[in-house]
Amino acid sequence: MQKNYGVKFLSFSGALPSKVVKNTDLEKLFDTSDEWIYTRTGIKQRHVIDKNESGLSLSVDAAKQALNKAKIDPKSIDLIIVCTATPDKLYPSMSCMLQGKIGAVNSACFDLSAACSGFIFGMTVASQFIYTGQYKNILLVGVDIHSRFVDWSERSVAVLFGDGAGAIVMSSCLAKDDELKGFILRSESDSKLDLTLDNDNIYFTDLQDQVKPDFVRMNGKAIYQFALRVVPEIAKELLDKTNMSMEQIDYLVLHQANQRIIDAVAEKLKVGKDKVLSNIEKVGNTSAASIPLAIVDALASNKIKTPSTMLLIGFGAGLTWGAAVIECNILK
C-alpha cells in the first residue's frame, strides 16, 4: 500500500450512561442469579440509558473528551465517522447530528455499520483518508445502545449487553511514524441468522397498528464457536503480515463479548492474563464501543504502560471480524 502520510492516535475517550443495572437487579426480572451470569459471561453489571440519555448524548460526551485530550478544535476535524448498529434515528445520521452538537462545521460525516466489529472497520476506513492526504484530522466514534432492543424477560441475551460510547482522534503524520502497523478485515454471510436484529417487521397494512421494534436474537453457541474459530486465526494472519510475533505485542484487546471467549482466545494465542485488557465485568458487551472503552479503562486505572503495541480484534454480527496492530503513545 502506498502511504503518503501516516496515522497518529491522539486520544482515546469513553462515555457510559449513569444508570447501572447489576446482576442482582436482573434476578427480579427472570430466573437467574449473580453467580449464574458471572460464571458464564464474566459480567457483574452493565450501564443503560435513561429517558434523558441517548446514543447521541453519549457520543457527544465521548467526542468532546477526545477532542480536549487531543487539543484539537472541532473546526479542525475534517471527517466524522460514527460506527453503530443501533442509531437513534435511521436518518439523519448519528455523525451529522454529532457534528452539529460539537461544532465540527468543516467535517464530512457518515455512519458505518459493522456491529461489534464496527470500531475496527471504522479505524481502517478512516486511515485510508489519512494515508492519501485527503483528510488530516478524523474523529471516530463507536457507540451502541442495545438496551432498546433487548427482551428484558429473556435471560440469554438480556444478561450480556450494555450501552456506551468510545471515541478517538486520528491525525496525519509522517509516513515513517505511522502508528497503525497493519490491519485485516473479514466478513462471512450469516445465512443462518445466528445473530440478528430485525427491522423488516413494519408493512403498509400495519400502519394503523402499534408496531414495536424487534429484539436481538442470538444463537449463543454458534457465535461462541465462530469467535473461537476466527479470532485466533486472524491474529496469527495479521502478525505474519506485519512480520511480528505475539511476544512483540504488549496488550491484546478483544471485543468485550464474553469473558469466556476472551480467556479462550488468550489461551489459544498463549497470551498471559497480564497482557489481556478486559473491562466486561463492569460494562458488559458494549458492541462498537467495547474496544475503546477497554483501553480507556486500562489507561485510567494504570493497568497499561505507554508507549505500547496493541493487537485489537473485533468480531460480531454480519458476520464480521477484523484486527489491527497499533502503537499507543497516549498517557491518559
pLDDT tens digits for 82-92?
999 999 999 99
Residue 5, pLDDT > 90, answer yes
Do the first three CATH levels of 6-178 and 181-328 match, i.e. the same topology? yes
Average pLDDT score over residue span 254-280: 97
Q: What is the pLDDT of residue 1?
A: 67
3-class secondary-structure state, position 48: strand
Distance CA 36, CA 32 (A): 6
Q: Is the pLDDT of residue 206 over 80?
A: no
Roughly how many angstroms between the first and final C-alpha of the chain, as a whole number? Answer: 31
> Does the structure show a pLDDT above 90 at 214?
no
Q: 294-329, pLDDT tens digit by residue?
A: 999 999 999 998 899 999 999 999 999 999 999 988
Task: Give the residues across from 251 on adjacent strands.
Answer: 310
What are the boundaries of each domain within the chain? 6-178, 181-328
pLDDT of amino acid 111? 98
Residue 138 φ/ψ region, left for φ over 0, alpha for ψ in the -120 to 50 degree band, beta for the rest: beta
pLDDT value, residue 332: 57
Percent of the chain with pLDDT over 90: 89
Say whether pLDDT at 289 is over 70. Answer: yes
Tens digits of per-residue pLDDT, 10-30?
A: 999 999 999 999 999 999 998
CATH class of 181-328: alpha beta
Between residues 209 and 170, which one has the greater pLDDT? 170
- pLDDT of amino acid 331: 62
Q: What pLDDT, on the 0 to 100 scale, is given for residue 309?
A: 97
Peptide bond into 92 cis (omega under 30): yes
What is the reported pLDDT for 210? Answer: 57
The predicted model gives 284-288 an average pLDDT of: 98
For residue 60, the model assigns a pLDDT of: 98
Reported CATH class of domain 6-178: alpha beta
pLDDT at 209 over 80: no
Query: What mean pLDDT is predicted for residues 262-289?
Result: 97
Q: What average pLDDT is seen over the chain?
A: 94
Element (H, E) at 119: helix 118-131
Residue 6: predicted pLDDT = 97
The residue ranking higher by pLDDT, 314 or 153, is: 314
At 282, is the secondary structure helix, strand, or coil? helix
C-beta of residue 296 within 8 angstroms of C-beta of residue 14: yes
Contact 143, 84 (CB under 8 A): yes
Band of residue 156 on the pLDDT scale cut at 50, 70, 90:
confident
Is 107's pLDDT higher than 80?
yes
What is the pLDDT confidence band of residue 235, given thresholds at 50, 70 and 90? very high
Active site residues: 116, 255, 285
